[in-house]
Structure 1
Amino acid sequence: MAATPLDRDDLRARVSAALRAHLHRRRGRLALVGPELGPVADALADFLDGGKRLRPAFAYWGYRAAGGHGSDALVRAVGALELVQACALIHDDVMDGSDTRRGKPAVHRHFEALHRAEKYTGSAERFGTAAAILLGDVCLIWADEMLDRSGMPADALERARPIWDEMRTEIMAGQYLDVLAQAQGGHSVDRAVRVVRYKAAKYTVERPLHLGAALAGAGPDLLDSLSRYGLPIGEAFQLRDDVLGVFGDPAETGKPAGDDLREGKRTLLLAYAAERATTAQHELLDRHLGDPDLADEGVDALRGVLVETGALARTEERITSLTQRALDALRAAPVDAEAAEALAELAAAATARRA
């Protein structure tokens, strides 16, 4: 069986090993502050012990697409993306009030439980929220350190830095757009697409590709080609995540079924439903969407609306169309056969049905 792009050169295992080594060094720094920081280091190590390492894989193959050859320094550089992702997920769970992540308690819930177990004074919820915000910030700082101290040449890091900085700005801007959409209410296809692009699509695929390619010295033409592939795949990836957030198996997603509905996420799936909903279906959406105590019966009712209005089918069609557009762009891109094959396989891995 041919190696997948995540397994070639044991990439996933190498990224995980690089992260563990980086966290071990940073743990020593926390220990100098005091033993009370031990649970913080433990929580982060546990949080990072999982995931598909998609973003490092896209960055790695962006580097290879630009003619670079893999190295331990490159693995450390692209591994820093996992810490950016950790920051985004930890903060996202706080903003959404999520209870779980990857089948485990969300970080803020973990620290709430610590507060109660240790019988601290004050609000356990506020303590958990504060600890998670701080841990997310630490992830962002340690991501910078992992990139800067990766061992990549100084000129390569100088080329990559503007992309790295732009990516982090886009993540935070996209997160705000998502929070704003939930606060404003209503359903807009255009708004949902913009949130998808800036909250997920760019930093999941396009910017990692650009980061890797820039480290290898890619010019603007290759970066443009990678965007034509990366943006559609990034959008398709998030749309697949949105579908799984409503219809997915909790054993696969690591979150209770219907949590996105309880959190009131204004996804493209919901915007499509609102466009074609009857008056009765609109009333169902208004009554149940964003109800944190929504029972399974309410989740099933909303799922019914998504199916009956054709929203699920339209979203699946868009995922298929976006993936095909990306693969067509990849075939036209000036990359060698191995990189093209790896990127095609990554596209399949990012958009696969798991429900």
Structure 2
Amino acid sequence: MDSSHSSPVTFVRPAVDAELSGFVQRRRAEMLEIGEELAPVIDALEAMLAGGKRIRPAFCYWGWRGAGGSEVPEIYTAAAALEFLQACALIHDDVIDNSDTRRGLPATHRRLAALHAASGWSGDSTAFGQGAAVLLGDLCLAWCDEMYQSSGLPEPALRAGRAPFDRMRSEVMAGQYLDLVEQARRADTVDAALRVMSYKAARYTIQRPLHLGAALAGRYAELAPVYSAYGMPLGIAFQLRDDVLGVFGDPAQTGKPAGDDLREGKRTILVAETLRLAPAAEAAEFRRRLGDPELSAEAVRWMRDVITDSGALAACERRIDRYVEEATTALQTDAIADDARSALADLIVAATARKH
């Protein structure tokens, strides 16, 4: 890895950004041939893509390098395609959760609702924004496939990568549905939260991008178990950190209002541990307030105090530490190329020690 880059993510990011920008510009021209009305939709997509951390392309790239893949431009194109899957998931997730913001900007459906209102069009602006965002998310899913297939990698490599690539896209949608089901059931158990976390986040964030990199390099059979032993615990730790930040993070850094996860009623491990560990009366009141979209700042502070005082926050931090240890242990193998093993070790820190 070039020492002039500060991390495995920043090493990958410039090339991924360039691939995404070029792809969207080419598709913008095609969309505008269909109708000038599509310009604000592509603008909304560009705004969404601009703020990504590029975690998934980074794991795909280092999975490729760990499998002996060489430094070729085509791998950046294939890896960048995963950002369209991420954009699809986030756009749809914000519609499902009725979120107002994403990465410090209006959520895509809010942005498109504002377009409707400012244009003075007939009908309900909120419904228009939601419908337009769903369609944009669908377009991202289609472009994810198109960018992968047109990456320029040899056809045998693309065929080999198809299984993890397709499985990843199916799993994230299944995980989204499981999340909806558990919210509707008001599931409060750690096991239920872990199942959702596994499919909605861990697999498509780390495990499957690594699998994709290995498959593209022709070493899927050998490296899939190794990458799973590393990627699954790290993926869960990554999401646990995200859940903690969703409640305790600085809005200036996270880009979302403080306590939004509590207002949305997300059934996270942090919530499950709180309901398990808090005194009965506090747990009952916590459960009553969870999911109230009008939750005040004072109520959020009270819920944070319950999370902390019950020991739930400390329990989640211990879980993160255990999963990090598992991922670190899994890297102690000669099956992964040395420079990639070092990068994957650095990615453990990048994924779990985040402040935003």
TM-score, scaled relative to structure 1: 0.98
**Structure 2 counterpart of 1:354, one-letter code:** K
Q: 1:67 to 1:263 in 2, by over 3 A?
A: same
CA deviation map 1:76-102 (0-9, x unaligned):
000000000000000000000000000
Q: CA deviation at 1:127?
A: 0.2
Mapped contact 1:222–1:333 kept (Cα < 8 A): no
Q: Tell me what 1:116 maps to.
A: 117
Mapped contact 1:226–1:333 kept (Cα < 8 A): no
Q: CA deviation at 1:2?
A: 5.9
1:341 is aligned to 2:342: yes
**Structure 2 counterpart of 1:66, one-letter code:** A
Alignment of 1:77-88 (within 5 A): 77-88=78-89
Count residues in correspondence.
Answer: 353
**Residues in 2 aligned to 1:49 and 1:260: alpha-carbon distance in whole angstroms:** 23
Q: Helix, strand or coil for the counterpart of 2:331?
A: helix
**Residues in 2 aligned to 1:122 and 1:186: alpha-carbon distance in whole angstroms:** 36
Mapped contact 2:270–2:316 kept (Cα < 8 A): yes
Q: CA deviation at 1:331?
A: 1.3
Q: Tell me what 2:264 maps to.
A: 263
1:5 is aligned to 2:8: yes
**Residues in 2 aligned to 1:330 and 1:40: alpha-carbon distance in whole angstroms:** 42
**Structure 2 counterpart of 1:189, one-letter code:** V
Q: Helix, strand or coil for the counterpart of 2:321?
A: helix
Mapped contact 2:230–2:327 kept (Cα < 8 A): yes
**Residues in 1 aligned to 2:334 and 2:267: alpha-carbon distance in whole angstroms:** 34
Q: Helix, strand or coil for the counterpart of 1:320?
A: helix
Percent of aligned positions with the same letter in both sequences?
53
Q: Helix, strand or coil for the counterpart of 1:6?
A: helix
**Structure 1 counterpart of 2:305, one-letter code:** G
**Structure 2 counterpart of 1:5, one-letter code:** P
1:286 is aligned to 2:295: no
Mapped contact 1:225–1:333 kept (Cα < 8 A): no
Q: Helix, strand or coil for the counterpart of 1:313?
A: helix
CA deviation map 1:221-247 (0-9, x unaligned):
311101000001100000000000000
Q: Tell me what 2:159 maps to.
A: 158
**Residues in 1 aligned to 2:176 and 2:192: alpha-carbon distance in whole angstroms:** 13
**Structure 2 counterpart of 1:307, one-letter code:** T
Q: Tell me what 2:278 maps to.
A: 277
Q: Could you list the runs of 5+ residues in structure 2 that have no partner in the other structure?
A: none
**Structure 2 counterpart of 1:185, one-letter code:** R
Mapped contact 2:210–2:227 kept (Cα < 8 A): yes
**Residues in 2 aligned to 1:269 and 1:308: alpha-carbon distance in whole angstroms:** 13
Q: 1:222 to 1:28 in 2, by over 3 A?
A: same
**Residues in 2 aligned to 1:302 and 1:143: alpha-carbon distance in whole angstroms:** 39
Q: Tell me what 1:233 maps to.
A: 234
TM-score, scaled relative to structure 2: 0.97
Q: Helix, strand or coil for the counterpart of 2:232?
A: helix
